[in-house]
Amino acid sequence: MTTKPEMSAADIAKAVAGGKMSALAATEAALARIKQHDTILNSFTDVTADRARAKARAIDADIAAGKAVGPLAGVPFAVKNLFDVAGLSTRAGSKINRDLAPAKRDATLIERMEAAGAVLVGALNMGEYAYDFTGENVHDGPSRNPHDTTRMSGGSSGGSGSAVGGALVPIALGSDTNGSIRVPSSFCGIFGLKPTYGRLSRARSFPFVASFDHLGPFARSVTDLALAYDAMQGPDADDAACTTRGLEPTVPLLANPVSDLRIAIAGGYFQKNVFPEAVEAVSRVAKALGTTQIVDVPEAARARAAAYVISTTEGASLHLDRLRRRPNDFDPAVRDRLIAGAMVPAPLVDRAQKFRRWYRAQFSEIFKSVDVLLAPATPCTAPKLGQVNFNLDDVELPVRANIGIHTQPISFIGLPVVAVPVPLEPLPIGVQIIAAPWREDIALRVAHALERMGVVSAPSPRGL
């Protein structure tokens, strides 16, 4: 059996476990596709071919010996280069971090993916220090959109979006502080899960904003997304924010009906500053789910403002010493934002953190009468690389400052979200399926129902 470029993780694992395909063959297929297409996409910064082949051979040996293998046996995956990969310096999209000693141990989530049988094939391009919504990187060049390589992949997990959207690997891992999983998912036309804050361990990944940092998976199908998510769940003493909740598997629940769920469209702020494509995408999803109910989210603009303040100040605090010692080695745009962040008066940061408490209470009220909220993932489809402004309702707006306006007020209080791709022409765009804290199962169930209805899907890469 040979692999097809868009073969799902579930199908690869089934074929490998059933002896119809070797893990090594699945790994070689991914390595060949990376070699063929990544000169254009620029999604990988490191290809760990030797490690991948060794891992694949070990899985094949286990199968030959009759040993049980995990649910992701032989599935190639890659990680944003802020995850520690043993033997590599964790560059986090920067020039400065390349001088760090190589990591001695993999990030927890890599260990868990590999414990489930997955095969790490490399590390992925990203915006410098994750302070980015574009997928552009001044040191490594931009990761490119697989549907139009003149366009942005989205950031900051741009390489993750590009690699999965381009079907180089079926699963990638990324991070999301203000939208960095959901934005590339939207631009690259794939599924992305930003779990509840604290659900998945961040141990041995390079941070950005401790209050908002989440890690999560990207995939081309909901089943693959859930398989990866389930494999990575569980407490971890190495991440102070990681929950002590036990495993809550979602794969067995995916096919449950959604007719009992109360689903509404996020109104007000979430229906403003959007291009017609984003309106169309939310409309298609809402229609398929049979909802016309609109729920206003109070003070979402202020939530976005507070998220901005906390991000720029916590980011500045993280990088303060590097800003002193090596300011010329930063991307100048990132450096100037971080320096400004260091100058924000402390009372404004404290008030922003206190506002989170108030805002969270509003969502707790909303979730008493609603199980799921729908909102755009991005206001537009992927802009051109280097694009500075876009024109919305005859108003020129800066692209970078506006890409994450619909994601920031959600990650601000750590709600779980599945970004689902609506395959519009000529470019896909994402919709956020937002659930209450710890209810990733509900968001995944709704995404799966939409996928079965044919409303959302990951389109074949059109730019390759």
Partner 1 sequence: MAEPLDDYIDAVSKALALQIEEAWRPAVRANLEVSLRLGRLVDEFALPDETEPAPIFTV
Q: Residue numbers of the site for partner 1 (CB under 8 A)?
A: 196-198, 211, 241, 243, 299, 301-302, 305-306, 308-309, 312, 320, 323-324, 327, 332-333, 335-337, 339-345, 347-348, 350-358, 360, 401, 413-414, 437-438
Element (H, E) at 33: helix 23-41
SS3 162: helix
Question: Cβ closer to partner 1: 344 or 392?
Answer: 344
Question: Cβ closer to partner 1: 209 or 418?
Answer: 209
Q: Which of 55, 80, 221, 457 is catalytic?
A: 80
Q: Which of 22, 156, 201, 211 is catalytic?
A: 156
Distance CA 178, CA 414 (A): 10
Least distance in Å: CB of 400 to partner 1? 11
Q: Are 191 and 419 in contact (CB under 8 A)?
A: yes
- Residue 325: which of 96, 139, 93, 99 has the closest Cα? 96
Question: Cβ closer to partner 1: 99 or 336?
Answer: 336
The residues near 439 (Cβ < 8 Å, ≥ 6 apart) are 196, 371, 416
> Widest CA span of the chain, in angstroms?
66
Least distance in Å: CB of 324 to partner 1? 6
- Residue 376: which of 243, 259, 281, 244 has the closest Cα? 281
Least distance in Å: CB of 247 to partner 1? 17
Q: Which of 143, 180, 186, 411 is catalytic?
A: 180
Query: What are the DSSP calls for 326-356, one per residue?
Result: -GGGS-HHHHHHHHHHTTS-HHHHHHHHHHH
Q: Are 261 and 446 in contact (CB under 8 A)?
A: yes
Distance CA 441, CA 84 (A): 28
Q: Exposure pattern of 242-271 as b/e (b: 16+ CB <10 Å)?
A: bbeeeebebbeebeeebeebebbbbbebbb
Question: Cβ closer to partner 1: 51 or 335?
Answer: 335
Question: Cβ closer to partner 1: 218 or 412?
Answer: 412
Q: Is 180 a catalytic residue?
A: yes
Question: Cβ closer to partner 1: 155 or 184?
Answer: 155
Least distance in Å: CB of 396 to partner 1? 16
Q: Is 94 a catalytic residue?
A: no
Q: What's the number of CA atoms in the CB half-sphere (13 Å) around residue 138?
A: 15
Across-strand partners of 176? 214
Q: Are 275 and 380 in contact (CB under 8 A)?
A: yes
Least distance in Å: CB of 406 to partner 1? 16
Question: Cβ closer to partner 1: 337 or 448?
Answer: 337
Least distance in Å: CB of 120 to partner 1? 30
Least distance in Å: CB of 345 to partner 1? 7
User: Residue 110 has which token pair?
Assistant: 């890599």
Least distance in Å: CB of 154 to partner 1? 21
Query: What are the DSSP calls for 97-128, one per residue?
Result: GGGSPPPSS--HHHHHHHHTT-EEEEEE--SG
SS3 content of the chain, % helix, strand, coil (to 5): 40, 15, 45
Question: Cβ closer to partner 1: 253 or 344?
Answer: 344
Region of 27 on the Ramachandran plot (φ > 0 left; ψ -120 to 50 alpha; else beta): alpha
Least distance in Å: CB of 404 to partner 1? 13
Determine the residue type at 303.
A
Question: Cβ closer to partner 1: 357 or 368?
Answer: 357
Determine the residue type at 349.
V
Q: Give the position of tokens 């391009």.
A: 125
- Residue 440: which of 248, 297, 255, 256 has the closest Cα? 248
Q: Is 80 a catalytic residue?
A: yes
Residues labelled as active-site residues? 80, 156, 180
